[in-house]
Structure 1
Amino acid sequence: VEVLGNSWRMSVMGDRKAVLKEIPEVVRNPQNGKQFAKGKFLGKGGFARCYELMDTETRIVYAGKIVSKTLLVKKHQREKMTQEIQIHRMLSHPHVVRLDGFFEDADNVYVLLELCSRRSLMELHKRRRAVTEPEARYFTNHVVLACIYLHDKKIIHRDLKLGNLFLNDDMEVKIGDFGLATMVEFDGERKKTLCGTPNYIAPEMLGKKGHSYEVDIWAIGCILYTLLVGKPPFETLSLKETYQKIKENDYIIPSRISADARHLIERLLAADPSARPNIHEVAQFDFFTKGYLPSRLPTSCLTMAPKFQPSQLVQLERRVVDGARARNALSPRQQARQDMLAAPLRALTTVPETQAVSMKRAPEERNDPACGDVPSDCYLSELYAQISELLTKKASDRPVVQEDEAEDPAAVPVFWVSKWVDYSDKYGLGYQLCDNSVGVVFNDNTKLVLDAAGEQVQYTERDNSEQYYTISVYPKELTKKMTLLAYFRNYMNEHLQKTGANMAVREGDELARLPCLRTWFRTRSAIVLHMSNGTLQINFFQDHTKLIVCPLICAATYIDPERNFHVYRFDLIDKFGCPRDVFSRLKYARTMIERLLSQSGNTNIRPGSLSTADARIGKYNTPSHRASINSPS
């Protein structure tokens, strides 16, 4: 079966340096007449640009991988894409990105892929660096399941890496990008092509001795190591040195890594490919069979480590339910939730403080991130250095190339503040995040966050220690603050733009740790919001634009007056420049970070600590004067 047609080949041969044409707003499949509306730009890589493509009839949205035919002139380029489609189209597995179709027109080849809206493990890695062991087990388990399927079909992926492991809304891993994949034609065949990504490439491939399924096993070892340790095992500043370390099997597993994880990594990264387990054997290692494997992870783990006390929460809730069955046919959980939503000033079910679920975890498994812990300033110093370096290079003085080159939508923030209500003259600042979760920073510098489903509660003390409760289970001492949280939540839903109905409870929500608003203040021109995950958000009052900067993924998101998102990675700003309005806001952000850092002796900066010339806090007596919608939902 020929995947790509031949009709266009001669027309592009004479124009090898043709400028890439703009993708039309509506793409038509000449074979069947189906039409697809071009949506958001998703990113680029290799030869392809990726956009959302919506079937105008079914309204189904795909990730459209679009390759210009001017880039497929050479025979090997065409054969490579043909092989990629031929292999990918025959696959159907829960942990493999689905290929739903492909077609071509006069200018481009279009591949319709399953949309994985949570991007890839690469973005998660940049934000989190090291993840917890249950998370690493969860993600790697999905990769192993997919590779069992691929290897059983005699397919070697040959480019397994964090950037090719995509995440859907259910936080399921999907292996994608089969551009380097190959079929094993007969038992014992050794492939000779040198291919892959430097940090993940196996030693036998570098030695050009021939390779097979074992290169995928090696790559899984690199992936697991990177997730647990926070960086690839052989990463160096130079390609030559990295290859040398791979050839010498020169890597170190930190002592904090558990024995089961260490044993698996050592087997996966065996220098001799014959000493590595096959993919079926990998699945039977103690790391997968004996450790805690979450059935689902919350989307909050894209930026925040989860909490792993599901059994404690269940037991605690049972005690409360058994002791308080009463008011009517509704269960205590249902009644409490109904009360919270309908009558926020009524006191809710409480339990003694001693029954709280705290951050302290059982010692038998390393569920804490292997991180070199979050710095006390929540990455402000790092962010200041990054922005300062950009500003010294005067990025706005360079002409900006086309938007696709200068922007990287994959770096869009996971969380931002979408609404806020300033009632700090009495209680504090209430806010809503983009996922509809709600929080309050109280005037005593404690914080409460309620998840979008209205079930899970997170309380942060002044010393930044965290306690976890449910909407129906919390200590009596928090009754007033829970009531105020409910008040803020209802106020924002009633008086500010609606951002959608309450989300349904989903599996994994009980593990969620949401970022909370760490510090905030207002100036004459903006409100500055610093989140506990390191994200800094500045909302400008005059033109309603917003700037969100993240030191971990090294990117700035600019939300223009029309509420369009423009995401600029710092390295792309350095390379291609950026619009002047973005540059001027980055300068303002640096000044605001200086102000935050100047308060380093007090990491919980109170609004009142600013000069009266700048601060506009407590000026009004009603919260309606100080309410805002900060970004589109």
Structure 2
Amino acid sequence: MASRPRVDTTKEIAQVILDPKTRKRYQRGKFLGKGGFARCYELVDPDTKEVLAGKIVSKALLVKQHQKEKMTQEITIHRELHHKHIVGFSSFFEDSENVYIVLELCRKRSLMELHKRRKAISEPETRYFLQHVLLGVKFLHERNIIHRDLKLGNLFLNDEMEVKIGDFGLATRVDYTGERKRTLCGTPNYIAPEILAKKGHSFEVDVWSIGCILYTLLVGRPPFETESLKETYTRIKKNEYSVPKTIGPLARNLIHRILQGDPARRPTVDQILHDDFMTMGYIPVRLPTSCLTMAPRFDTKMNVSIVARRPLVELNKESAPSGAAQKEVAPPPEPASEQRASRDCYLKVLHGQLKKLLDSSPANRAKIEMDEAEDPAAVPFLWFSKWVDYSDKYGLGYQLCDDSIGIIFNDSTKLMLLANGEDIHYIERDGTEHYYTMKDYPKETNKKVVLLKYFRNYMNEHLVKAGAAMKPREGDELSRIPSMRAWFRSRSAIVLHLTNGTLQINFFDDHSKVILCPMMGAVTYIDEKKSFRTYRFSLLEEFGCSEELANRLLYAKTMVERLLTSRSVSASATKAKVGSATATSAAATPSAAPPTH
């Protein structure tokens, strides 16, 4: 595989960016990420206070003529597109140093990040996302535009969890009926066989990519993926793939209809929209933001008598008419390594990632390029913002960054109050989940609900939390959030582990924190100066990191080993010890701080 393109970082982007022609100014905000030749930042319009996304490309990188033509074509095509499911195009301009494309900001990143955190997702979610993609692509095809690079990483999500198709760098316009394009382009796992065969291609290549997207969402991996690019291309050319037996019959049929080697035999986008898979199964009107990390609950929306469920089990249901009762079935089979990883909530995966990174001695190399390892797209979806240790009597209470509240009781049961302040989830010792509300719950859980209210009120009154909370929105009633899997306190820190794999360590001495996400292969480091940065493990291995961060990662590896060797949750017996950690502050100011020893 080709190495990751280097982005020009020799010249810092100005804090205030000026459009030379209109004299309009934008305030450069936080770094969003990089890819190809571009660096992306939030751009704030000082007049309207609107926050946009700025795709900034250094002219020093646009040396070859075809690179300039590609950017010109991207702008020419995208600026004319106005549709609910296409990333909004605001403006473009250039100065002596850079080209600037100002776009709609999609804060929830892309389906690629969702895929990395979730792997296989449920059929209702897949229909929801696929419907948005199909409507956007139908709009493009009706205007004689082929996207040619449809993939999870180019399907962005806004605050309402709506899909927006973006990145028109490979898009082209069909100038006359029957025209066949000859350019070899696309992304390996999504590229159509007629492109590889150089036979000429048209709209059908987008349909092929949609089939690969459908398969990847339902199965958890692309249909033709191998460890070798050559082997992947061979499988695409031979149309060699298999659909797991547990995939529903209507989904299986649609996948086979789309992934036809002969482009003439593939359905159109409109025909896919009317396929039985899309019309005979439940499609949510909205999805909760929590589905970025956990499967939603559909029991209240599908007339399904599900009052309890096992944790981390996806709802991939057999397709049935909307409103009909459906039984929960197992998700697509995962590879053995994935099954083992799910059982220990990815602790062994995280240990392997940390060991590989630390074996490269990252602190012994130059730190000048450490910024190259930064990747804001890998920021954890949820982390601990507050905690209260009352384990000598009841258990550990905590608040997540979305303002949801949880308690892991001494009897190993768990109770969580979602951010809407209404829905509560009770998890038994064996992991079975029950869904209630603050107004309607069984009498036997009354004492625990009272304790939940106590913990909530205590944290709200005595612990400081910085940063904006996630506002409740339509669709949040379907939310499921990860629960506390394990925790313990050492002399130096408190270690907190969520069932979605996120591991957080809050250090007592300087109030720094590390938040590790094995699914994203990344660490977020909040230093004593309250700086919040997220780095990919693989890029830290390549570019190195500060000794300060390396030491904390070494400590994290030791804590992961402790978790792996201990089946029980250990806790301090010190009464009502309190701690707080936030995304934007190194430490809050609780009424009683944890001992630093």
Could you tell me the TM-score, scaled by structure 1's length? 0.86
2:322 equivalent in structure 1:
none
* Counterpart selection for 1:618 from 553, 573, 580: 573
Q: 1:562 Cα deviation (Å)?
A: 2.7
* Match in the other structure for 2:37: 47
Aligned: 1:605 with 2:569: yes
2:423 aligned with 1:456: yes
Contact 2:464–2:580 at 8 Å: present in 1 too? no
1:348 — aligned with what? none
1:370 is aligned to 2:332? yes
Q: Is the 8 A contact 1:156 1:216 kept in 2?
A: yes
Q: What's the counterpart of residue 446 of structure 2? A: 479
2:457 to 490, 503, 515: 490
**The residue matched to 1:310 in structure 2 has which SS?**
coil
Structure 1 residues 257 and 88: CA distance shift in structure 2, 3 A: same
1:425 and 2:377 equivalent? no
Query: Where in structure 2 are the equivalents of 1:46-85 lying within 5 Å?
Result: 46-85=36-75
In the alignment, is residue 541 of structure 1 matched against residue 511 of structure 2?
no
Counterpart residue identity of residue 63, structure 1: A
Shift of 1:244: 0.4
Identify the residue that residue 201 of structure 2 maps to in structure 1.
211
| Partner residue of 2:435 out of 462, 468, 485 | 468
Tell me the alpha carbon deviations over residues 183-220 of structure 1, each in whole angstroms, 9 at most, x when there is no partner: 11011110111100011000000010100000000000
How far apart, CA to CA, are the structure 2 residues paired with 1:274 and 1:251? 20
Tell me the CA shift for residue 74 of structure 1: 2.3
Scaled by the length of structure 2, the TM-score of the pair is 0.91
Instruction: Output the CA distance in 2 between the equivalents of 1:537 and 1:434.
Output: 12
2:170 to 180, 199, 215: 180
**1:99 paired residue among 85, 89, 100:** 89
What residue number does 2:369 align with? 402
Secondary structure of the structure 2 residue equivalent to 1:115:
coil
SS of alignment partner, residue 194 of structure 1: coil
Contact 1:160/1:200 (8 A) holds in 2:
yes
- Residue 459 of structure 1 and its aligned partner are, at CA, apart by 1.0
For 2:145, the equivalent position in structure 1 comes to 155
Number of the residue aligned with 2:358 = 391
Q: Which of 15, 18, 21 pairs up with 1:28?
A: 18
- Answer whether contact 1:419 1:631 (CA < 8 A) is retained: no
CA distance, structure 2, for counterparts of residue 135 and residue 49 of structure 1: 31
What is the Cα deviation at residue 79 of structure 1? 1.2
Q: Which amino acid aligns with 2:37?
A: F
SS at match of 1:375: helix
* Alignment partner, residue 10 of structure 1: none
Residue of structure 1 in register with 2:135 after alignment: 145
Secondary structure, in 3 states, of the residue corresponding to 1:40?
Answer: strand
Residues 380 and 63 of structure 1, relative CA distance in 2, 3 Å threshold:
same
Distance 1:445 1:95, change over 3 A: same
- Following superposition, the deviation at residue 140 of structure 1 comes to 1.1
CA pair 63-365 structure 1, distance change in 2 beyond 3 A: farther
Deviation at residue 312 of structure 1 after TM alignment: 7.4
Determine the C-alpha separation between the residues in 2 that align with 1:139 and 1:81: 28
Instruction: Give the Cα–Cα distance (whole angstroms) in 1 for the partners of residues 159 and 333 of structure 2.
Output: 26
The aligned amino acid for 2:584 is P
**Shift of the alpha carbon at 1:85?**
0.5
Asked if residue 279 in structure 1 is aligned to residue 272 in structure 2, the reply is no
- Cα shift readout 1:246-270 (whole Å, capped 9, x = no counterpart): 0000001000100110011111100
Q: In the alignment, does 2:261 pair up with 1:309?
A: no
1:507-559 residue CA offsets vs partner (Å, 9 max, x unmatched): 21121110111110111110000001011100001111110111111111111
Given that 1:547 and 1:557 are in contact with CA atoms closer than 8 Å, whether structure 2 keeps it comes out as yes
Measure, in 2, the Cα distance between the counterparts of 1:400 and 1:41: 19
Output the CA distance in 2 between the equivalents of 1:141 and 1:255.
24
1:505 and 1:208 map into 2 onto residues whose CA distance is: 50
Alignment match, 2:581: 629
Contact 2:8-2:37 within 8 A present in 1 as well: no
Provide the secondary structure at the position in 2 that maps to 1:65: strand
C-alpha distance 37-401 of structure 1, shift in aligned 2 (>3 A): same
Q: Is the 8 A contact 1:456 1:509 kept in 2?
A: no
- Give, in whole Å, the separation in 2 of the partners of 1:195 and 1:145: 23
- Which residue matches 1:583? 550
Matched with 1:528 is 495
Q: Partners in 2 of 1:369 and 1:474 — Cα distance?
A: 29
Q: Residues 575 and 275 from structure 1, CA distance in 2 versus in 1: closer, same or farther, beyond 3 angstroms?
A: same
Residues 453-481 of structure 1: CA distance to partner in whole angstroms, max 9, x if unpaired? 11211111111111111221211111010
* 1:585 CA drift (Å): 0.7
CA contact (8 A) 2:495 2:506 kept: yes
Contact 1:406/1:576 (8 A) holds in 2: yes
C-alpha RMSD of matched pairs (Å):
2.1
CA distance in 2, matches of 1:76, 1:205: 19
Verify the 8 A CA contact 2:56 2:100 in the aligned structure 1. yes
SS at match of 2:21: coil
Matched residue count: 563
For the pair 1:193 / 2:183, whether they are aligned, the reply is: yes
Residue in 2 that maps onto 1:341: none
Change (3 A) 1:292 1:29: same
Give the number of the structure whose alpha-carbon radius of gyration is greater.
1
Q: Is the 8 A contact 1:539 1:630 kept in 2?
A: no
Question: Is the 8 Å Cα contact of residues 120 and 220 (structure 2) preserved in structure 1?
Answer: yes
In the alignment, the residues of structure 2 paired with residue 368 and residue 486 of structure 1 have an alpha-carbon distance, to the nearest angstrom, of 35
Change (3 A) 1:482 1:538: same
Deviations along 1:41-81, whole A, 9 cap, x unmatched? 11111111111111122211111000011112322211111
What is the aligned partner in structure 2 of residue 380 from structure 1?
Answer: 347
Counterpart of 1:562 (choices 526, 529, 533) is: 529
SS in 2 for 1:557: strand
- What is the percentage of aligned positions where both structures have the same residue? 59
CA distance in 2, matches of 1:406, 1:183: 36
**1:434-445 map, 5 Å:** 434-445=401-412
**C-alpha separation in 2, matches of 1:235 and 1:511:** 32
Check whether the contact 1:305–1:369 (CA below 8 A) recurs between aligned residues: no
Asked if the contact 1:258–1:365 (Cα under 8 Å) also holds between the matched residues in 2, the reply is no
Give distance in 2, aligned partners of 1:52 and 1:370: 38
Q: 2:41, 2:300 → 1: CA distance?
A: 38
Aligned residue in 2 for 1:129: 119
Is the 1:356–1:469 contact (alpha carbons within 8 Å) kept by the matching residues of 2? no
AA partner of residue 413 (structure 1) = P
The answer on whether the counterparts of 1:418 and 1:632 sit within 8 Å (CA) in structure 2 is: no
Of 227, 235, 243, the residue aligned with 2:233 is 243
Gaps of 5+ in 2: 1-6, 319-325, 586-597
Q: Which residue of 1 aligns with 2:482?
A: 515
Q: CA deviation at 1:497?
A: 1.5
- Structure 1: how far apart are the matches of 2:428 and 2:367? 45
Mapped partners of 2:553, 2:357: distance in 1: 9
